[in-house]
């Protein structure tokens, strides 16, 4: 059984088109509002024919239902006449066909079935149909609860391929041979049914689920957002992208292709960390990434792992194309665009600065010969990996003191114990005999600082 998630919306905030010699800025606003209910218990397959022999194209709102779908023999359960198969064309003359996509594992779906059965009695001109990816469980549930509704058993994912969804319940509205709406449960009201029967007006609040998403596809090519000519260089930022997994990727362009960066469903802090991490992965760690902003607590609560439980108001997707040919240039160009956008949105600015801070510094100590290795050293690590792992461990500590390598060695193998000590003396116990020493020092070091700026930042 799944839980109901919060209201989700996709807001395209800003698109900046940039050529190599000029900058043109524009602001485009487009809002999609969705209410996401229970996640389907099954994982549907990619678009394909029911028997794998022919491709089925997804139907969008306004598309005419093809003859292939009207004539398809669809298996059903709980049919009042005991039929095992029906065709959608059996209901073609009805003024409205309303298909409820559901599952027995979906609490919201089950709670809505009594309402669908009531509507069936009140609207004889409407065909109220169910569709599920389940088989046996759907049949016994409808029978055991004395429902007069029957359900398509879409185990071959045929209907799903025509009408893909990521969350259920999901409602498909067909009238006069066309798909007139796909909606959430809140739109299945007598008022909306009366409007379409009497005035031909379909529900205005529609839902189109993005069931697959390639992070390298241009947002601007996504039909569920909007279409525009292909751009050679661009910075695009969207709001929360519904039903898309959080992910980040970048690619340095080669052979005339632009460099590329994209991140999906991330908060501003994670976006800045990903941007600086392209060229300086050390600075994305919490003990090198300083938050000096009034937004600190609020933005920390919108990590990608929490966005289903928290507000999506501060979740974004970013896509950036650049003529940069190396990681440093790509990171620098991207940070410039992020500072422009989030400076206006939150009054935030991120940049690399030199600060005087405490740090655990590992230095050469090869003159010492009095120390002997103690304990069992079970494996070897390159020195840079050892310091990296010590730094990651420190990142999660309350003090968050970073570790720095100030030796001439990076790849030299260092013997380490199976159980790492949690104090400086214990670490030096295996470092000193190998010619190194760690000490707590106060030194100048580069850090990444995300801070408030004087102007901008009115979005609360």
DSSP secondary structure of 9-49: EEEEEEEEEE-SS-EEEE---EEEEEE--EEPSS----S--
Query: How many of the other CB atoms lie within 10 Å of CB of 68?
Result: 13
pLDDT at 222: 53
Name the phi and psi angles at 248, rounded to 5: -140, 145
- CA 126 to chain centroid, in Å, comes to 37
CA gap 332, 314 in Å, rounded? 23
Where residue 86 falls (left for φ over 0; alpha for ψ -120 to 50; beta otherwise) is beta
pLDDT at 3: 26
**Is the distance from CB of 216 to CB of 250 less than 8 angstroms?**
no
Beta bridge partners of 75: 85
Q: Residue 111: inside a domain, yes or no?
A: yes
Q: Residue 206: inside a domain, yes or no?
A: no
19 and 122 inside one domain: no
401 and 334 inside one domain: no
Tokens for 21?
A: 């010699």
Q: Residue 138: inside a domain, yes or no?
A: yes
3-class SS of residue 132: strand
Q: Residue 459: inside a domain, yes or no?
A: no
381 and 416 inside one domain: yes
* Domain stop point among 166, 198, 230: 198
pLDDT at 96: 97
Beta bridge partners of 291: 450
User: Packing angle between helix 190-198 and helix 107-122, nearest 10 degrees?
Assistant: 50
57 and 191 inside one domain: yes
Tokens for 289?
A: 């990434």
* Domain stop point among 346, 363, 397: 346
Q: Residue 455: inside a domain, yes or no?
A: no
Hey, what's the torsion of the CAs at 380, 385, 390, 396, to 10 degrees? -130
Q: What are the CA-CA distances from residue 5 to residues 34, 186, 311 (Å)?
A: 11, 14, 10
Which residue positions in the chain have pLDDT lower than 50? 1-53, 220, 223, 225-232, 304-310, 456-460
365 and 430 inside one domain: yes
**Is the distance from CB of 279 to CB of 446 less than 8 angstroms?**
no
Nearest to 119 by CA among 46, 197, 27: 197
pLDDT at 400: 84
3-class SS of residue 228: coil
Strand pairing category for 436-452 and 289-292: parallel
CA gap 66, 61 in Å, rounded? 13
Cβ-based neighbours of 430, under 8 Å, separated by 6 or more: 373, 374, 375, 377, 414, 415, 416, 417
Mean pLDDT for the chain overall: 77
Domain of residue 388 covers 355-449
> Domain of 64: which CATH number?
3.40.30.10
Q: Residue 154: inside a domain, yes or no?
A: yes
Q: What are the CA-CA distances from residue 85 to residues 125, 156, 210, 383, 407 (Å)?
A: 21, 14, 30, 68, 75
146: number of CA atoms within 13 Å, CB side? 1
Query: How many of the other CB atoms lie within 10 Å of CB of 242?
Result: 23
186 and 53 inside one domain: yes
The pTM of this model reads: 0.52
113: number of CA atoms within 13 Å, CB side? 22
Q: How many residues does the chain have?
A: 460
341 and 360 inside one domain: no
Q: Residue 184: inside a domain, yes or no?
A: yes
**Is the distance from CB of 417 to CB of 447 less than 8 angstroms?**
no
- The total of structural domains in the chain comes to 3
CA gap 147, 261 in Å, rounded? 51
**Is the distance from CB of 355 to CB of 447 less than 8 angstroms?**
yes
* Domain stop point among 303, 327, 346: 346
**Is the distance from CB of 383 to CB of 410 less than 8 angstroms?**
yes
CA gap 295, 306 in Å, rounded? 17
82 and 170 inside one domain: yes
Q: What are the CA-CA distances from residue 60 to residues 181, 220, 256 (Å)?
A: 9, 18, 36
74 and 161 inside one domain: yes
422 and 374 inside one domain: yes
pLDDT at 331: 95
Tokens for 126?
A: 């409407």
13 and 105 inside one domain: no
55 and 165 inside one domain: yes
The DSSP element (H or E) to which 365 belongs, if any, is: none
**Is the distance from CB of 164 to CB of 57 less than 8 angstroms?**
no
Beta bridge partners of 85: 75
Q: Residue 39: inside a domain, yes or no?
A: no
């Amino acid at each position: 059984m799944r839980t109901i998630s919060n209201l989700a919306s996709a807001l395209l905030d800003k698109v900046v088109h940039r050529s190599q010699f000029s900058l043109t800025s524009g602001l485009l606003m487009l809002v999609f509002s969705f209410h996401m209910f229970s996640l389907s218990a099954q994982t549907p397959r990619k678009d394909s024919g029911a028997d794998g022999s022919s491709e089925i194209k997804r139907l969008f709102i306004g598309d005419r239902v093809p003859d292939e779908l009207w004539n398809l023999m669809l298996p059903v359960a709980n049919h009042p006449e005991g039929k095992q198969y029906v065709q959608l064309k059996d209901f073609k003359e009805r003024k409205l066909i309303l298909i409820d996509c559901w599952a027995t594992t979906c609490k919201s779906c089950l709670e809505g079935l009594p309402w669908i059965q009531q509507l069936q009695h009140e609207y004889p001109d409407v065909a109220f149909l169910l569709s599920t990816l389940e088989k046996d469980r759907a049949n016994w549930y409808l029978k055991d609860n004395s429902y007069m509704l029957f359900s398509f058993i879409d185990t071959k994912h045929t209907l799903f391929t025509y009408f893909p969804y990521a969350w259920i319940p999901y409602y498909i509205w067909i009238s006069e041979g066309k798909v007139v709406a796909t909606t959430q449960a809140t739109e299945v009201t007598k008022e909306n049914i009366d409007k379409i029967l009497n005035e031909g007006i379909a529900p205005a609040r529609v839902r189109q689920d993005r069931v697959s998403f390639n992070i390298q596809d241009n947002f601007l090519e996504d039909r569920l957002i909007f279409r525009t000519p292909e751009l050679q260089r661009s910075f695009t930022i969207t709001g929360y992208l519904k039903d898309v997994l959080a992910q980040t990727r970048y690619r340095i362009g080669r052979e005339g292709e632009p460099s590329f960066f994209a991140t999906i469903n991330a908060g501003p802090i994670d976006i800045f960390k990903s941007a600086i991490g392209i060229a300086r992965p050390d600075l994305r760690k919490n003990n090198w990434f300083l938050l000096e902003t009034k937004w600190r607590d609020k933005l920390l609560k919108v990590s990608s792992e929490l966005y289903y439980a928290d507000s999506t108001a501060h979740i974004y997707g970013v896509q950036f194309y650049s003529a940069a040919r190396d990681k440093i240039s790509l990171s620098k160009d991207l940070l410039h665009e992020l500072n422009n956008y989030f400076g206006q949105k939150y009054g935030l600015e991120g940049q690399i600065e030199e600060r005087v801070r405490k740090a655990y510094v590992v230095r050469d100590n090869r003159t010492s010969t009095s120390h002997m290795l103690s304990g069992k050293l079970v494996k070897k690590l390159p020195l840079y990996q050892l310091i990296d792992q010590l730094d990651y461990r420190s990142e999660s500590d309350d003090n968050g003191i970073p570790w720095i390598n100030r030796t001439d060695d990076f790849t030299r193998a260092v013997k380490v114990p199976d159980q790492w000590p949690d104090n400086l003396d214990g670490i030096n116990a295996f470092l000193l005999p190998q010619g190194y020493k760690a000490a707590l020092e106060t030194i100048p070091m580069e850090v990444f600082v995300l801070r408030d700026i004087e102007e901008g930042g009115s979005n609360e």
